[in-house]
A = this chain, B = another copy of it.
């Protein structure tokens, strides 16, 4: 059965039945959802989109991974502020001749993400389009005044990273060769955001970001925003199994957290946390990332690579 044989009204009814949740006052099926936030909390709010042929290939990526990942990346962003993710919307545009099996698989991934991350689908939109496009927005909570920004790093702070790096990029490489059954592939398809670590280190941390664009690029954001520099050490970087040095330094879609703090324990929420370097003063006002003694240039993912770097 094709999407256009179902019709938009029936599609929305199906989604609404599947994601009905008595825990929220008003969910899918009105003009907007009505939700409650605990007192003395601020809202954490973000959105992340997934476009066919930019983020996934229909022939390669299973549909449930597309749904799962679209939620996971937003969970990761909320966690990187020290927040707790709560509610999200999903807007989906897709061709009318799309097989309904794809959409069912997609929503199976969304459903699994709801269970794994404790978040609730609160609304969204559907439309036809020439290719598949998914946008997820998410709201979460953080105690008022408690969010961890990119800009708070101080000289002498340690730079920590959760888990291991390079696994998602290594997985994508395997997937392109049609290898499906490997830990790195699972990591690429069904990333594990570290939001629980993010919330746990909130009061201990000065700055935080998730590694969605690669270590070199994302640590670059911390040094830019904090107006300092960072020095990390090659022999301290935790590499995922099978990941190359380039993948560890620049591979994106990791969703590990980069945490800047005076001192962190070695394990938080059952996730290993590794100190990879420290924040240092900038020289001549140049905010840089150093890998041992050399300047590390950002080489993460750019959806519109400039001509010079393409």
Taking Cβ atoms with an 8 Å cutoff, the residues of A that contact B are 3-11, 25-26, 29-37, 39, 42-55, 76-78, 80-81, 83, 87, 89-93, 96, 122-131, 133, 135, 137-140, 142, 144, 147, 149-151, 208-210, 225, 302-307, 309-310
Counting every copy of the chain, the complex holds 2
Whether the pair A32, B44 counts as a contact (CB closer than 8 A) is yes
In-complex Cβ contact of A123 among B45, B54, B91, B302 (8 A) = B45
Whether the pair B144, A303 counts as a contact (CB closer than 8 A) is no
A90 CB contacts on chain B under 8 angstroms: 47
Q: Nearest B residue to A55 by beta-carbon distance?
A: B127
Known contacts being A8-B303, A125-B135, is A210 close to B31, with CB within 8 Å? yes
Whether the pair A54, B127 counts as a contact (CB closer than 8 A) is yes
Whether the pair B77, A45 counts as a contact (CB closer than 8 A) is no
In-complex Cβ contact of A305 among B7, B50, B123 (8 A) = B7
Known contacts being A26-B149, A302-B9, is A45 close to B35, with CB within 8 Å? yes
In-complex Cβ contact of A54 among B77, B87, B93, B144 (8 A) = B93
In-complex Cβ contact of A45 among B83, B87, B126 (8 A) = B87
Whether the pair B133, A51 counts as a contact (CB closer than 8 A) is yes
A9 CB contacts on chain B under 8 angstroms: 302
Whether the pair A307, B54 counts as a contact (CB closer than 8 A) is no
Whether the pair A83, B302 counts as a contact (CB closer than 8 A) is no
A89 CB contacts on chain B under 8 angstroms: 45-47, 137
